[in-house]
Amino acid sequence: MSRSFHLAANWKMHFVASEARSLYESVVAMVEATEQRESANKVSVSVAAPAVHLATLSAVRSPMVEYGSQNIHHEKSGAFTGEISVPMVQDYGATFALVGHSERRIMFGETEDLLAQRAEGALQQGLRIIYCVGETLEQREQGETSQVLNTQMSTIGHLCDKFFDLITIAYEPVWAIGTGKVASPEEIQRAHQEVKALGRAFAPSKSDLPVLYGGSVKPDNIQSLLEISEVDGALVGGASLSFDSFRALYEGSCQ
């Protein structure tokens, strides 16, 4: 059965400007070519690029492949050294930002309070967010997955109804990121069901929030993700850094 599926590429801290432009142009050409032929699934693509490359992508921007920032500050301007604001990224055509990625939570100590500010600031200024949730290996082994998801989703719970159309969730089991490990289909389905249920609790008048899966997504496991109805797409890290691997992912999603 045909379905819609979204691939969000997270380039993390990779590429110089010429490399970013080349990869983006290749991805755009790939998506445009697919639009000219029939495919089983409707697959959309976006790119979360390093902030320094937003200007580069702006010069070759295509409506076929949206791009956004990997980080965002809630204030429009101010004395926040090293941060980037919504007006700054929007000026270069960015349409979304990642909020709460596990690397930001763990490496840079971003708290739930800070993430709530980032999310609300972005949404209030019309920037869509991909809000990331997920448990660490220790939390998983202690049976705390549901508790962790509840806490993390509650961070944006007050925003889900008003800004429903601007929010996408990415479930990323931290223990499966960059490790080559992939959660079982049953684990993925259960986590996505929990996240969607929490979304409905926060926005009872709305339908389900879209939930992407982000845990070592590769061409050889994309088909199994497509078979899980609760998975609305994928947040792709390593496999998005090579055009060949991302093309294989994209083509596998279109089938």
pLDDT at 8 over 90: yes
Per-residue pLDDT reduced to its tens digit, 24-75 = 999 999 999 998 787 889 999 999 999 999 999 999 999 999 999 999 999 9
Q: What is the pLDDT of residue 193?
A: 98
Those residues whose C-beta lies under 8 Å from the C-beta of residue 232, and which sit 6 or more positions away, are 4, 5, 6, 168, 210, 211, 212
pTM, entire model:
0.97
Q: Residues 53, 172, 192, 194: which is the catalytic one?
A: 172
Q: Residue 1 — pLDDT band, cuts 50, 70, 90? A: low
Identify whether 101 is a catalytic site residue.
Answer: yes
Per-residue pLDDT reduced to its tens digit, 61-83 = 999 999 999 999 999 999 999 99
Domain count, the chain: 1
Helix, strand counts (H, E) of the chain: 10, 8
Per-residue pLDDT reduced to its tens digit, 98-119 = 999 999 999 999 999 999 999 9
Identify whether 194 is a catalytic site residue.
Answer: no
Give the domain CATH number at 105.
Answer: 3.20.20.70
Rounded CA gap, 38 and 57, in Å? 28
Q: Residues 101, 103, 135, 194: which is the catalytic one?
A: 101
b or e along 6-26 (b: 16 or more beta carbons within 10 Å of the residue's beta carbon)? bbbbbbbebbeeeebbebbee
What average pLDDT score do residues 142-163 get? Answer: 98
What average pLDDT score do residues 115-128 get? Answer: 99
Angle between helices 185-202 and 145-154 (to 10 degrees): 30
Q: Which domain holds residue 77?
A: 4-254
Per-residue pLDDT reduced to its tens digit, 168-221 = 999 999 998 867 677 899 999 999 999 999 999 999 999 999 999 998 899 999
Three-state SS for 170? strand
Q: What is the pLDDT of residue 40?
A: 80
